[in-house]
Structure 1
Amino acid sequence: MEPTRVMIIEDEALVALDLAKGLEKDGYLVAGIADNGREALELFRATPVDILLVDVHIIGDQDGITTAASLLEHRQVPLIYLTAFTDAVTLERAKATQPSAYLAKPYTLTNVRIAIEMAMHNFAVARQGTPPGKVIPLEKSPAADATDKETILRLNDYIFVKHQYAFVKIRLTDILYVEAENNYVQLVTPDRKFLLRQSLAQLLDKVDYGSMARIHRSYAVNIDAIQSFNEQEVTVAKTSLPIGRTYREEFLKRFNFR
């Protein structure tokens, strides 16, 4: 399965590099980074790109909106704006380019991932010629509409999770922790993260893995992956996760903690 190729147009080098690093860690391929319209157009023409992440304020005579319009004239791909500009005039100009999302800075990597997945899904649906008004859930491809395939499949010591229209194999012991945010959960392994559209309770029920322990309304951890813990938090892969009061007693019972 080919990773989604992301092009970043951003004039703040540190912001662009941090975003690129986070996206690559999550399995995306950063096709290139540009800080001005001319460079962006040259890169876009020469490089396969699946989606654009564009800041409104960039170096040069052309801003991000004008640059995005020029790129989309060359080839249609989904477009997401990442910017600190939220005034009415800028928003109206941005609307003309029909972006999939408009994220205000400071944004979170989780929100960027959600926006990318939604944008890629909606773009794929539009390319399939889905009739207006017909809604296809995020985790289904148009071809899967009749079969209602699950986003998580369990097979012995593995699960297969739906990621960009393919099922990716994950060993249960490789799951480090799961984080919930709104209607999504992020499943974290040592080398990748997977964003799924379902609740934490639904994911734990489908995974059905005895070593997974709910420690907070937003977190569940693999007991075998814990590096250290106390009554307030656990550490997994150098990441500290809080223990909620509601889940503390049940969690500590696993260690005969008194």
Structure 2
Amino acid sequence: MPAEKINILIVEDESIVALDLANGLEHDGYNIAGIADNAEEAQQLFADNEVDIILMDVNIIGEKDGIDTAVEILKQKAVPIIYLTAFTDAATIDRIKKTHPAAFLSKPYSLTNVRIAIDLAVNNFAVANEQQSTGKIIPLDKDSNRNTSSPEREMILRMNDHIFVKNNYAFVKLKLNDLLYVEADNNYISIVTSEKKFLLRLSLNQLLDKINYKALVRIHRSYAVNINTIQSFNEQEVEINQHHLPIGRNYKEEFMKHFDFR
């Protein structure tokens, strides 16, 4: 299966602003799950579509504003919410805080700031759920003090049965089951699916340690494979999706332990 795009719901009462934002995010590689200008439509779109992040304007059409709408939506499922608003008075901020937003952007905002907010939202949401799931964040920079707000910052994180891989400005969502194998080359790895390769600055040991996916097994100093995707193997190599990958002498015994020979 191909990588899944991050799905974003935009709730904004100014149609021109909403469409401009949608176009910019789609260009970056995100998928727009829908655009709403009122609470009822926003809740319906959220219920009918898979939504990973919500961009929520506070001032929307109807009796319920964006904060009220966020409260109702969060009763259905917890997702990161990024508020977009021109209202920065104390009363509004206090109401927003009670919904535990992932980020807050005051208008006018730039697409760059929205990108950064989405980046942080995915990060913070994973951290908040780390104790309830296996979510882990792996900064790929050796310098841990690097500015985390940079839209160019590379990263990978795991949440439940998915990993999120930073690809240019956008995260892409990969099911762990769809991962075929990982190939290491010096300080870089290639995460390979049937549809695409993702090149990251990370060691193979770091990846295996941090995402902790038991089906991803080391077979060579340069390769780890998803044993669920192996088509055939012998003592020298495995075949996955017509790729023949070598089994290293030092990894053969451990690899064979994953199979019950009777």
TM bucket (normalised to shorter chain) is 0.5 to 0.7
Measure the CA separation in 2 of the matches of 1:116 and 1:36.
22
Deviations 1:205-231 (A, max 9, x none): x9xxxxxxxxxxxxxxxxxxxxxxxxx
Count residues in correspondence: 154
3-state SS of paired residue (1:62): coil
User: Does the CA contact (< 8 Å) of 1:7 and 1:53 recur in 2?
Assistant: yes
Stretches of 4+ aligned residues off by more than 2 angstroms: 148-151, 161-168, 193-196
Match for 2:31 among 26, 29, 32?
Answer: 29
Q: How big is the shift at 1:17? A: 0.2
Measure the CA separation in 2 of the matches of 1:18 and 1:79.
19
User: Does the CA contact (< 8 Å) of 2:137 and 2:156 recur in 1?
Assistant: no
User: Does the CA contact (< 8 Å) of 2:59 and 2:85 recur in 1?
Assistant: yes
Which amino acid in 2 is paired with 1:194?
Y
Q: How big is the shift at 1:94? A: 0.8
Partner of 1:126: 128
Alignment partner of 1:62 is 2:39? no
Match for 1:94 among 89, 93, 96?
Answer: 96
3-state SS of paired residue (1:25): helix
Measure the CA separation in 1 of the matches of 2:39 and 2:109.
23
3-state SS of paired residue (1:69): helix
Match for 1:9 among 11, 16, 22?
Answer: 11
Q: How big is the shift at 1:3? A: 1.3
TM-score if structure 2 supplies the norm length? 0.53
Partner of 1:142: 136
3-state SS of paired residue (1:102): strand
Deviations 1:188-208 (A, max 9, x none): xxxxx5379xxxxxxxxx9xx
Partner of 2:236: none
User: Does the CA contact (< 8 Å) of 1:114 and 1:195 recur in 2?
Assistant: no
Alignment partner of 1:194 is 2:169? yes
3-state SS of paired residue (1:99): coil
Measure the CA separation in 2 of the matches of 1:143 and 1:100.
16
Counterpart mapping for 1:83-232 below 5 A: 83-129=85-131, 142=136, 144=138, 162=155, 165-166=164-165, 168=167, 193-194=168-169
Q: How big is the shift at 1:2? A: 1.4
Partner of 1:75: 77
Aligned CA RMSD, in angstroms, stands at 2.9
TM-score if structure 1 supplies the norm length? 0.54
3-state SS of paired residue (1:52): strand
Q: Which runs of 5+ in 2 are unaligned?
A: 144-153, 158-163, 172-186, 188-262
Which amino acid in 1 is paired with 2:169?
F
Partner of 1:38: 40
Q: How big is the shift at 1:143? A: 6.4
